[in-house]
Every structure is written in structure tokens, then in C-alpha cells.
A and B are shown apart, each in its own frame.
Chain A
Amino acid sequence: MTFVVRLVLALAFIVPLGAASLHAQTFGPSGPGGGAGKPTPGADKPAPVPTPGPVFRPTTTDVTPPPAPPPTTAGADWGNSQVDVVYAEPQDPRFRPIRERLMRRQVLEQLRLFLSPLRLPRKLLVQVDQCNAEQRPYQPGGAVTICYEYIAKVAQLVPPTQQIGAPPPESMILGAVIQQVLHEVAIATFDILDIPVWGRERDAADKLAGFIMVQFGRDVALRVMVGAARYFELSERQWTQADFASEQAPEAQRFYNYLCIAIGADPATFRFLVDQNLMPQRRAQRCGNEFLSLRQAFVQQILPHVDVQLLKRVQSATWLMLDEPK
């Protein structure tokens, strides 16, 4: 039996996946021999080669070693007691199967476990609800809401079988749903912890969500970050003048922002994004510094509100178990 938090796994099966083969095609970095990205001469003053930003992990001097064997979710007593979760009954019967699947997979309960290291000074309600819109933005003091409509849209947009050059559908669904959950939780966290946010709030939420996604090792980062980015690509629409007044960023911008975090966190693993022209070299050069600055913000502003021992415990969990029997 595989133990440990399986929010991600749970999310993978929220929507029917059709006959997607889990082993159809490897997606991700090519093996040795993949060409290095060429520098673009003269495009700009050369940025100093950023030191690969090591992903934030508490050092061993910060905490006692993680308990062995790793914690299980069965009867877990370490869920965040400040987080309440609700699967609201949708009026539209179309959403009922989604609700049942979420409940069966205990998605929100898993999220509660996942958020256990975060010390919140007040209760936070996280709910799935029918919104009659794709999103119901967080209001200060309010609840985090994931809309059945959003999950339904993800299921509808992601092709049931893997397309050439695209990640497997389950990665895109995972990425799309996890980024939405973490994005909304991030906005709530900024509000509840009264965190200073420079830059547009929704971009900041994307960056915090992305930062969290790259804290669980290479495989999780690959699936979730690339999956989320590719979902943005899939949902892209043409933006014209008045659209740019939106407080939300164009899908293409979000695509690049997520991938830039991935590259900044782990340049070796994500270099294929540059090699495959998914990320322009010019931006890629800056991702190391962007990531360092994001990590600095996290360490300064969020980490003081985090129980480092519990964080270590959550990080030690095995997260992506896509091959696990359904």
C-alpha cells in the first residue's frame, strides 16, 4: 500500500480519462545528447549565469530528520485544523459525478493535510461549489472556492489521448486543477497573513503556487508545472485591446511565468523547454534570478508562518503515483 498524501493522485481521477495510456510516450527532457540552448548574441547584455536556484528545503540543522517510515494519510492527525473543507451540493446535476469523485478521492481532505504546515491565525473554508462561472475570486475575509465549472472545463478541454509533443492528459488535468487550487489558496494566504504583495496579485499567486509545486522533486515538478503550462496553452484565446484591462494575465503570459519558475528552480531538468523552443532563450536567461527573488520573498514572508517540521514531513511524502492501480 502506498502511503502518504495523495492529493495529486486523487485529483488525477476527478474526471474520466478515457483510454489514455500512461506509458504511451515519454514526455519531458530528452536523454543525453539533447542540444544545449544557443545563446542569442547581441540580443541583450549577457545576464550572469545564475547559480541554479536550489529548491528551498529546510537544512538538516533546522529540523530533526523526518520520521521513518513516512507519515501515512490513514488516520492522519496532522491536517490543518484551521482549514475547513466542504463539497457543496451542485444544483446542476451535471456536476454531481464530479462531486462524487472528488469526495471519493478525498481531494479536499488531502489538501487539508497538504496545508498542515501553514499556521493560519483564522479559519479558512475551502470549498468546491457551483459558481455559474469558471471562477469565484476570493474576497478578503472570505472562502476559497474551486468551481465545478472549472473542473468540468478542464475535463472538456484536455484531449482524452496524448497528443504528439504534449504531456499526457492526466498531467495536464493535474496541473490545471492543482494550479487553480494553489492559486486561490495563495491569494487567501496573502490576505489572511497580511503579506505585502508587490506586482499584480494574481501573478503573485501564480508564482507562489508554482514555487510550491517545485518543492516536491523533479517528477512532480515536471508533471505539474508542464501540465499546468500546457493547459494554459490549451485554453488560450486571442486578447485584444480592452481585454488587457483585465486584472488576470493572458494565458500565454501565465504559461511562460510557470515555466520560468520551473527553469529557475531546476535548470538542468527543464532545459528541454528552451531546446524545444517552448521558452525563448531571452526569458530563460532571467529565470534563475526570478526564482531567487521569489525564494527570497517566500523565506522572508511565508516561512515565518510555516511549521518547518511539518513542512519536512509533507515534502518527504511521495506525491505523484500515476502508475498506481486505480
Chain B
Amino acid sequence: MKPTPFRSMTSRFKMRCSKIVAALAVAAAALLVQTPESAAQPRPQELAANTRVIIDYIDPMLRFPRSQATLDRLRKRQVLEELSMFLSPLRLPRVLRIRTKSCGVVNAFYDRSEWAISLCYEFYEHLEQIAPQTTSPQGFTRDEVVVGGFIDAIFHELGHALFDILQVPVFGREEDAADQLSAFLMLQFGKDVARTTIKGAAFTYLNNRNPRSRAEYADEHGTDAQRFFNYLCLAYGGEPEAFRDFVDNGVLPKARADGCARENQLVRRAFAKTILPHIDVDLMKQVQSVRWLRPSDGRTSK
């Protein structure tokens, strides 16, 4: 899921004065602290939008009239407006476009030739369809699946966009890297947000389909099962208390769990060195203190 189907080429050979940046970044990383959640948390509206993020709710294609309701719902919830506020600490060297649209497929995309993220109405509708009415037998709630699943799609594509726009060095597989960035962001807003979003992301890979033929391993994405475990591992590594139940009940095998703190540390280091230098840390702390999710977010108002 979530491939980047169209990857136009860019010439990218900028050298960096990496040591100084790295030192600053590591210092700033110490500031990446958890903010306690409270009822008094500010609303997103207290933040200014990122002026280099251009948002657009694109009308659904005529053959998908059902998606009009999805568009209305996303617009009413101000999903893209709040996303732009969420991105306010980010200093972007160029304009990033983020739009919701009909894609004809259940997916989300980053298009390098347009510097644009497309979030498909179909993907949101798919989440509403697969989400349990209340709670699944494995303990995943409707809110987690719809809200977490959609945020994961946004963050994953944001990962591709940032790697591209900021010319981030990616040594591993980029699809895994985008998942890592998504999971890492999910863990920066306190335990409740972390639980909702990580579980939602993991759920989309829960009823997974593993490769049926050898050639399927050629996919640049990991298998669904690999992605499922990657999310849980980064979560457990970053928030052991909040995610211990997944280890206790054997969902995340002990052999993997033992290395998750280090895996999380590697991602934290990569973030600190390659993305944090492009972030206004004061604004970032404000963003972290905001209450982004609302109790009603997973519910369809039908």
C-alpha cells in the first residue's frame, strides 16, 4: 500500500557541512520531549498555517459521487487546514502541495514531479469500511482505525515528500523510511495520541496478505506483516509502558522487542540529524502541546 507511483527525477548532489549541523541537531533533539496531555491544551487554531503548504480539497470525479460526502466531512473537520498548522515549524525550501482527491484507487501518493501529496477519498472510505463498529476482537477501536489509519497515510506520504524536498539521505528502503517517519511523528504527542495512531496504522496491516509468489518480494514495500511489526517495534521502543501489552500478549515477539529501543534510537538520531535542522524548535514545541485529536474524530456523522 501507499506506493509512490510516479517518481520524477531530481538532481540532488548537495554536500552538507554535516558535522556542525549534526551537533546542533543532536542538541536540539534533547528538546524532543513528551508533552503531557491535558484538557487545557491549546487548539490548533492558535497556530499559523505554513505559508509554503498549499492545500486543496479537490471535487471528486463525477463517477464517484459518493466521495462528495467524504470531501465535506474532511473539509468540515478542517483536516488540511490543521495539517498546514501542524507543519508550521517546518522550513520548506519550496512549496509543498497537499490535496484530497479522487484517485480511482485506495491509496495515497507523493508525486515528485509536482511536489504534491495526494490523499485519496477512496482510502478514507476504505478505512471507514474496514474499521470495526466499536472494537475489533483484537482490541482495535473504530477511532483508532479511521483516525490512525488516515494520519498514517498522511505521515507516510509526508515522509516521501520531506526526503525529496529536504534531500534527506536515505540509506535503507525508502518505503520503510517513510513508515518510520510516520511512526516517529505519532510518538511525539503523548501516550494517548501514540496509542490511537500507531494502533490505527498497525491495523491496516493486521489482516495481512503475505507474498504468494517469490516475485512479490520484489516490491519496494515491505510485506504487510513486516510493516505491522515495524510500527509496533518503533512504538514499543519509544514508549515501552504504553505498548508493553503487545509484547506481553505475544503480538510483538520478544526476539524483536529486545532490539526495539535501539531501532527507535536509530530513527530518532536520523530525524535529529536530517530533519530537525529544518524545523523551528520553538514552534515545534507549540505544535507538540496542541490537542490535535478529538473524541469525535472517528465517528461518521450520518
Name A residues whose Cβ lies closer than 8 Å to a Cβ of B.
44-45, 47-48, 50-51, 140, 190, 194-201, 203-204, 207-208, 236, 239-242, 244-247, 249-250, 252-253, 255-257, 279-280, 282-283, 286, 288-290, 292-294, 296-297, 299-301, 304
Q: Which residues of B contact A207 (CB under 8 A)?
A: 171-173
Closest chain A residue, CB of each to CB of B265: A140
The 3 closest A-B pairs by CB, nearest first: A199-B172, A244-B225, A297-B169
Instruction: Say how far A40's CB is from chain B's closest CB, in angstroms.
Output: 12
Q: Which residues of B contact A203 (CB under 8 A)?
A: 172-173, 176
Q: Would you call A299 and B13 a contact (CB within 8 A)? A: yes
A296 and B259 alpha carbons, distance in the complex (Å): 28
Q: Which residues of A contact B272 (CB under 8 A)?
A: 196
Q: Would you call B218 and A247 a contact (CB within 8 A)? A: no
The answer to whether the Cβ of B302 comes within 8 Å of any Cβ in the partner chain is: no
From B6, B167, B222, A296 is in contact (CB under 8 Å) with: B167
Instruction: Say how far A64's CB is from chain B's closest CB, in angstroms.
Output: 21
From A48, A200, A299, B15 is in contact (CB under 8 Å) with: A299
Q: Which residues of B contact A140 (CB under 8 A)?
A: 262
Q: Compute the total of residue contacts between A and B using a CB distance below 8 Å.
A: 142
B216-232 interface bits toward A, Cβ cutoff 8 Å, 1 = contact, 0 = none: 01111011011011100
From B5, B18, B266, B269, A300 is in contact (CB under 8 Å) with: B18
A190 and B262 alpha carbons, distance in the complex (Å): 13
A242 and B255 alpha carbons, distance in the complex (Å): 11
Decide yes or no: A50 and B15 within 8 Å by CB, A199-B172, A207-B172, A244-B226 being known contacts: no
The answer to whether the Cβ of B76 comes within 8 Å of any Cβ in the partner chain is: no
Q: Would you call A255 and B217 a contact (CB within 8 A)? A: yes
A200 and B226 alpha carbons, distance in the complex (Å): 11
Q: Would you call A296 and B13 a contact (CB within 8 A)? A: yes
Instruction: Say how far A230's CB is from chain B's closest CB, in angstroms.
Output: 13
From B5, B223, B228, B270, A196 is in contact (CB under 8 Å) with: B270
Q: Would you call B218 and A280 a contact (CB within 8 A)? A: yes
B2-20 interface bits toward A, Cβ cutoff 8 Å, 1 = contact, 0 = none: 0101111100111110110
Q: Would you call B218 and A245 a contact (CB within 8 A)? A: no
The answer to whether the Cβ of B77 comes within 8 Å of any Cβ in the partner chain is: no
Q: Would you call B229 and A252 a contact (CB within 8 A)? A: no
From A50, A241, A249, A301, B18 is in contact (CB under 8 Å) with: A301
From A201, A241, A246, A296, B169 is in contact (CB under 8 Å) with: A296
Q: Would you call B256 and A245 a contact (CB within 8 A)? A: yes
Closest chain B residue, CB of each to CB of A51: B9
From B3, B6, B170, B219, A293 is in contact (CB under 8 Å) with: B170
Closest chain B residue, CB of each to CB of A303: B15
Q: Which label, helix, strand, loop or mixed, suits the secondary structure of the A interface?
A: helix
The answer to whether the Cβ of B128 comes within 8 Å of any Cβ in the partner chain is: no
Most buried by A among B113, B172, B180: B172
The answer to whether the Cβ of B215 comes within 8 Å of any Cβ in the partner chain is: yes
The answer to whether the Cβ of B253 comes within 8 Å of any Cβ in the partner chain is: yes
A307 and B225 alpha carbons, distance in the complex (Å): 42
Q: Which residues of B contact A294 (CB under 8 A)?
A: 171
Decide yes or no: A50 and B9 within 8 Å by CB, A201-B266, A252-B214 being known contacts: yes
Q: Would you call A45 and B218 a contact (CB within 8 A)? A: no
Instruction: Say how far A190's CB is from chain B's closest CB, in angstroms.
Output: 8
The answer to whether the Cβ of B263 comes within 8 Å of any Cβ in the partner chain is: yes
The answer to whether the Cβ of B174 comes within 8 Å of any Cβ in the partner chain is: yes
Having A201-B266, A246-B255, A283-B219, one finds 6 other A-B pairs with CB under 8 Å, namely: A199-B176, A204-B172, A245-B256, A280-B218, A288-B9, A300-B167
Decide yes or no: A250 and B217 within 8 Å by CB, A196-B274, A198-B274, A245-B253 being known contacts: yes
Instruction: Say how far A175's CB is from chain B's closest CB, in angstroms.
Output: 18
Q: Would you call B18 and A304 a contact (CB within 8 A)? A: yes
Instruction: Say how far A279's CB is from chain B's closest CB, in angstroms.
Output: 7
Q: Which residues of A contact B181 (CB under 8 A)?
A: 198
Closest chain A residue, CB of each to CB of B11: A292
From B13, B163, B225, B262, A198 is in contact (CB under 8 Å) with: B163
A239 and B222 alpha carbons, distance in the complex (Å): 13
Q: Which residues of A contact B180 (CB under 8 A)?
A: 198-199
A194 and B176 alpha carbons, distance in the complex (Å): 20
Closest chain A residue, CB of each to CB of B167: A296
The answer to whether the Cβ of B48 comes within 8 Å of any Cβ in the partner chain is: no
Decide yes or no: A282 and B218 within 8 Å by CB, A194-B22, A199-B177 being known contacts: yes
Could you pull out 5 A-B pairs where Cβ atoms are within 8 angstroms?
A45-B5, A48-B113, A198-B270, A201-B172, A245-B252
Q: Which residues of B contact A50 (CB under 8 A)?
A: 9
Q: Which residues of B contact A239 (CB under 8 A)?
A: 210
Q: Would you call B176 and A200 a contact (CB within 8 A)? A: yes
Decide yes or no: A300 and B169 within 8 Å by CB, A45-B5, A45-B6, A245-B253 being known contacts: yes
Closest chain A residue, CB of each to CB of B262: A140
